[in-house]
Amino acid sequence: MIHSAKVIKGNQLGREIGFPTINLSLESLNMDISYGVYAAYVFINSKKMLAAMHYGPKKSVDNIISLEFHILDFNDFSLNLDILDFEVLDFIRPLIKFSSLKDLQKQIKLDLLQIRSLYE
């Protein structure tokens, strides 16, 4: 099922740690899934791209619930998007509170490897 949500400005932490994300508003979004990290497709300019999706509280940062996507092999985050269409594929793992940003970076790298192995 394809969902659509409004793009919002995030806190730029993903960019700072080497994994920039597109953040989406949770308003008016009706997803019946558990919090966690997922494989997903995002659709930009009619192109389907593989992404890692975080949905739920950012346990290692501020505990605020977020929906954000890191698109694999994509670095043009200067796009001026109002709405992002996406499709949730598979659950990768539950959310974890990491003791350091370095530990978070290591886990994101593992998540991306797993997503690649499933879909590339």
Domain boundaries, the chain: 2-119
* pLDDT at residue 77 in the model: 63
Is the pTM higher than 0.85? The answer reads yes
Residue 70's pLDDT band (cuts 50, 70, 90): very high
- The residue assigned the tokens 């790298």 is 109
> How far apart (Å, rounded) are the C-alpha atoms in residues 29 and 76?
25
pLDDT at 22 over 80: yes
> How far apart (Å, rounded) are the C-alpha atoms in residues 48 and 84?
11
Give the mean pLDDT of 53-75.
Answer: 89
What is the residue-averaged pLDDT of the chain? 91
Give the mean pLDDT of 36-48.
Answer: 95
CA distances from 111 to 4, 9, 79, 94 (A): 24, 23, 24, 11
Segment among 34-38, 46-50, 60-64, 69-73 with least mean pLDDT: 60-64
Fold of 2-119: Elongation Factor Tu (Ef-tu); domain 3 (2.40.30)
Which has more confidence, 80 or 4? 4
